[in-house]
Chain A
Amino acid sequence: EAGVAQSPRYKIIEKRQSVAFWCNPISGHATLYWYQQILGQGPKLLIQFQNNGVVDDSQLPKDRFSAERLKGVDSTLKIQPAKLEDSAVYLCASSFTTSGRADTQYFGPGTRLTVL
């Protein structure tokens, strides 16, 4: 079974530029998540999708971050404009939801973003 795919793996940009990350979840997984992991910390949830609807985006900095999952499969996360503090690894995860709650989340390899 293929895992969660993410691209690109690495991205270096200058502050105030825009950047987009792509995620393809495990086939059949209805729930998709984006996490931000700053060096030395654990991941922090940015947004959760159930199919193509947003379940939770309370920790997403909406003035500069946006995410979509238009057809309920792939997802993109965008930052515009980027700040120095956005330097982090952006992890995508997916899970198969049963009985109304998602269980094990499977993570992709992440995209390491460096903002100069």
Chain B
Amino acid sequence: SQQGEEDPQALSIQEGENATMNCSYKTSINNLQWYRQNSGRGLVHLILIRSNEREKHSGRLRVTLDTSKKSSSLLITASRAADTASYFCATLYSGGGADGLTFGKGTHLIIQP
């Protein structure tokens, strides 16, 4: 079953605007990761935030994590056409030794020129 739920399911914005995607999850986590998937391509890792971190930056990306609300957000600033893709959050469960990620259904982002 999918643990994460991304919101919104689809988002269309103009180039240069900021895009914000949200993710909610259900269990306690070790870390949360965001991935991007372009049409016909594999998943590309964007950023990892650990359960004891609240905010992380990487280039034009900003991720926040609120473990009390079991939620995370991904902000892409100054969007570009190349940012058009599906974005997935994935969680690593804090218990046990298994390290498989649990993915949400994704947010499909379209950047219009």
What is the interface size of chain B, counting residues whose CB is below 8 A from a CB of the partner? 25
Assembly CA distance A43 to B43 (angstroms): 10
Interface residues of A in 84-116 (CB under 8 A from B): 91, 93, 95, 97, 100-110
Q: A28 in the interface, Cβ–Cβ < 8 Å?
A: no
Q: How far is the CA of A106 from the CA of B105 in the complex (A)?
A: 19
Which residue of A42, A44, A95, A108 has the most chain B CB atoms within 10 A of its CB atom? A42
Partner of A91, one of B43, B45, B104, B106: B43
B41 neighbours in A (Cβ, 8 Å):
109
**A42-B90 contact in complex given A48-B98, A103-B31, A105-B101, C-beta closer than 8 Å:** yes
Task: Report the bound CA distance from A109 to B30 in whole Å.
Answer: 26
On whether A107 and B2 interact (CB within 8 A), knowing A45-B101, A55-B98, the answer reads no
Number of interface residues of A (CB under 8 A): 27
Closest CB in chain B relative to A101 CB, distance in Å: 6
Q: Mark contacts of B41-61 with chain A using CB atoms, 8 A cut-off: 1 yes-contact digit, 0 otherwise.
A: 111110010000000000000
Interface flags, B90-106, vs A, CB<8A=1, else 0:
10100001111111111
Q: What 3 pairs between A and B have smallest CB-CB spacing?
A: A42-B103, A45-B100, A56-B98
Nearest A residue to B30 via CB reads A101
Smallest distance from the beta carbon of B4 to chain A beta carbons, Å? 7
Complex alpha-carbon distance, A91 and B100, angstroms: 13
What B residues does A101 contact at CB under 8 A?
30, 92, 97, 99
Q: CB distance B97 to A107 under 8 Å?
A: no
